[in-house]
Structure 1
Amino acid sequence: MSAGAAARAEHEALVRTLRGAWPSLPALAVATAAVCAAAAAVLVLTPGPSPLAPPLAALLVGPFAAALAATVNGITFEGEATVRQWAAALRRSGAFGARQALVAAAPAAVLLVCLQIRQQTGAAWVVPSLATSCALTAVALPALPVVLPLGTARPGLRGTALWTTALHLVSRAPVRFLAAPALAALGLWSCVTWTASLLPLAVGPAALVAGAAVWTTAAGVAPAAAGARHGKPGGSGAGGRG
């Protein structure tokens, strides 16, 4: 793919996402509310930095996060997403979202366990496990927002291939993929500083930014590598078959 064609493909993917956001606002609102409600349940069930929080968040939030990613895919590929499409995506991709979130949650849970042991005992033997789990968490958590839209759009892309592809996309444009986590962090800071009701205002935009980063970057690579055929990877509609 030439540089000019790649730039045009990236521009078209971004324009479709931005144009489709407003007519898809009801679906985005429902998808965002579901993610926030699941996150609130995790906070109620596991207050504080508990090692149980990451796997519980994966099981409760992961399915709704995957459905939100599929909703953003629908906006990017079709120009609009509906609440009905979100519900269908939740049924198709819920289990997929939980599994992928568990992949990222496992090293985070181990990291919290190692931190607790280190703080309570000061044992030196836990340092290698602490360093390893910290490194794996630092890789898995930023990759998860890429894995979810990529995997919901491409049902045939799973396992190591899915995560490798996601990390490859991140490596191509790392600054682009920092936007969504930064926006989510700003939302969390706003919730802590002012009110938790601001969280839904950050989750939806962060998902849109993450989806735009995935598909604009994928549009810049060869069609076979990106798994795309001018805006409809895998013929997924609003999220493919999870």
Structure 2
Amino acid sequence: MNMNDTIDLSGISADKVYRIRRSKKNGKLISYNEYGKVIIIKNWKSLHVGYGKVVSFENRENCILATMKNVPYDFYEEYNEKTGEVEAVPYEELTRILQELGFTHEYKEDIDKDNIFDVWANLNSGVLITIETWNQDGERDYNSVKCYVPVSGCGFGMRNSSGFSYGTSYLSCFNIVHNTRDFPLRDCLAFNNGSMDWHGYTPSLWHYGEGHDINYAKALAKIRKFADPDIGERFNMQLDESFAAYAKNGYTAD
């Protein structure tokens, strides 16, 4: 069956994006429709873990046989039990996804010769994302992808599956490297309900390359080098108060 138009039989559609995972049973790539019916991907050898759209399909009693194509859509990371390697979204693809979601690049710093610390922000939603790559011994991976999401003064139930790290009634931080949902980034962004107000909270702008003895004031001062230098005021981070508090504890940005 060819899919030139939108088709939604047994919950499968040419317009939908499906998470493509590696089967723990045989290592082949599979997916599932919204009703939990397995999608057997006929051309799985030409695809990679991540996301895809259906090109054509055959509906069977116990499964759906489909030809699919990969599309950039969200963050993903998965451990390949067969090879012992991590399969993660390439950094270049992740940057395209962030741009499509309305984020702008704010800051970049080398952690070492193979890794970077990066900051992206959505100036219309108040969401800020920090990225630490982890490219070691042939692996191309992420140490963290932290997503800071402001909310309008209301708490919400957190689950381990969301990658939730910490939060308040006004701001929550997710490390989506630890998010086990099908659409980690988009699910976290959906928690934002219109607020851009951080209520004086600030992001963690240090990275693993700085070790354990961190000068928190100096790390926060990186925000002065952002592409949008007024972001602290725009998001109501109350930076002067934060720097003053750090100074009382012996941390200065100089």
Q: TM-score normalized by structure 2?
A: 0.24
Task: Give the number of the structure with larger relative contact order, counting CA–CA contacts within 8 Å between residues 6 or more apart.
Answer: 1
Give the number of the structure whose residues are more often strand, by fraction.
2
More helix by share: 1
TM-score if structure 1 supplies the norm length?
0.25
